[in-house]
Chains A and B, each alone.
Chain A
């Protein structure tokens, strides 16, 4: 049986019909058409499907889509503002933090969850924030550097 679910996706109201037990990742990609969310393991272990639900990081592949009714969901599709990339996206490019790019959407959203809550995190807090996200080629150092650089860029803008 299909169930209607309505939620806000990157600030816009969307409605989707989901199968019983459908996860949010499949609902976003296959029903809503947001292909910026990637699927890796469908077990909650790799972190590439990380999205924000009401501002908190969540793994879309193990989130029951029905539980998202009335929630606010953010994905990479909502990061850029018009022609401008989000400071995290710019920092990932400048610091070579995306090689194959598979983990990048999840890394960006896990980092956004951190910076929204804590604009100037310590290195340890960055490491902790991406602790559930696996990268198998870029290496964690450039990613950590990029997130720290994005936080410094944010500091300069708000100064």
Chain B
């Protein structure tokens, strides 16, 4: 089966084409989409592409960070000022996957994929979307919860405040190294005020169909210190709100069992 490929110079034109047709899919790096095309998936009738350079733009400052949806994992790894995100980008596939895999595609990747989206959730990112209606912005949590419903929208980029130095942590638990799909991943932003956690953000990958916030654990961490006694209440409620599924990588039961262990290690800075 062949599909129609429509390429547009400008984001707006691509967004219009995407929302106009039910079987249209936007092409990021194609690491997921091309498999569907190769398998003649009837959900993909048209591929919409944009060559607009704005899509791959990285605007990195000491305050706010803006990442174009078309930026690849390799581009993130090449940007020294995004070093805190390198441990995330580096875990996504092998080198050839990272050359193609985009941030936009990761936001739509189904569990157990979506490690970068998990990091963006812990960073409280805002997702910029272009649709038939024009431009709009949506908090990432809302975006992830609704991404599989409704019409096709073109994500143009994400933005977030640079996390305080050393406050961002990430761990991915996989069975194969160096390249392995997640049993689970955890991203956390742990800001400290006078040595105590203030406004923690914790996100899990592969613990639901899309990345989810660990709100019970976040609440339990508020005002606590990052030592064994301080993190214990958060670890005790680690799996609250998570709804992992069984897949070829791990059972839901196993994911729940090991989640508290890895959350504890992450919070204590003890590594995976």
The segment out of B31-39, B131-139, B165-173 that lies at the interface is: B31-39
In the complex, the answer to whether A132 meets B47 with C-beta atoms within 8 Å is no
Docked complex Cα distance between A131 and B91 (Å): 11
In the complex, the answer to whether B95 meets A129 with C-beta atoms within 8 Å is yes
The segment out of B96-104, B116-124, B186-194, B197-205 that lies at the interface is: B96-104
In the complex, the answer to whether B96 meets A64 with C-beta atoms within 8 Å is no
Q: Is A21 an interface residue (CB 8 A)?
A: yes
Q: Is A1 an interface residue (CB 8 A)?
A: yes
Q: Is B94 an interface residue (CB 8 A)?
A: yes
* CB within 8 Å for A127 and B178 given contacts A19-B2, A63-B30, A66-B7: yes
In the complex, the answer to whether A132 meets B3 with C-beta atoms within 8 Å is no
Docked complex Cα distance between A42 and B35 (Å): 7
Q: Is A44 an interface residue (CB 8 A)?
A: yes
Docked complex Cα distance between A113 and B263 (Å): 36
* CB within 8 Å for A58 and B99 given contacts A64-B47, A131-B178: yes
In the complex, the answer to whether A110 meets B34 with C-beta atoms within 8 Å is no
* CB within 8 Å for A21 and B35 given contacts A50-B96, A113-B95: no
* CB within 8 Å for A66 and B5 given contacts A21-B37, A44-B34: yes
Q: Is the interface of B mostly helix, strand, loop or mixed?
A: mixed
In the complex, the answer to whether B38 meets A132 with C-beta atoms within 8 Å is no
Chain B: CB-nearest residue to A129: B95
Interface string of B83-111 (1 = CB under 8 A from A): 00000000001111101100000000000
Chain B: CB-nearest residue to A57: B96
* CB within 8 Å for A23 and B2 given contacts A113-B95, A127-B178: no
For the complex formed, measure the closest distance between the CB of A106 and the CB atoms of chain B, giving whole angstroms: 9
Docked complex Cα distance between A142 and B26 (Å): 41
Docked complex Cα distance between A87 and B99 (Å): 25
Docked complex Cα distance between A9 and B97 (Å): 21
Between-chain CB contacts (< 8 Å), 12 pairs: A21-B44, A43-B38, A47-B96, A63-B30, A63-B100, A64-B49, A66-B5, A127-B178, A131-B95, A131-B179, A132-B93, A132-B96
Q: What residues make up the interface of A, taking CB atoms closer than 8 Å to B?
A: 1, 3, 19-23, 42-44, 47, 50, 53, 56-59, 61-64, 66-67, 110, 113, 127-133
10 other A-B residue contacts (CB within 8 Å) besides A66-B7, A132-B179: A21-B5, A23-B37, A43-B38, A44-B31, A44-B93, A58-B96, A62-B30, A62-B35, A64-B47, A110-B96
Q: What residues make up the interface of B, taking CB atoms closer than 8 Å to A?
A: 1-5, 7, 27, 30-31, 34-35, 37-39, 44, 47, 49, 74, 93-97, 99-100, 178-179
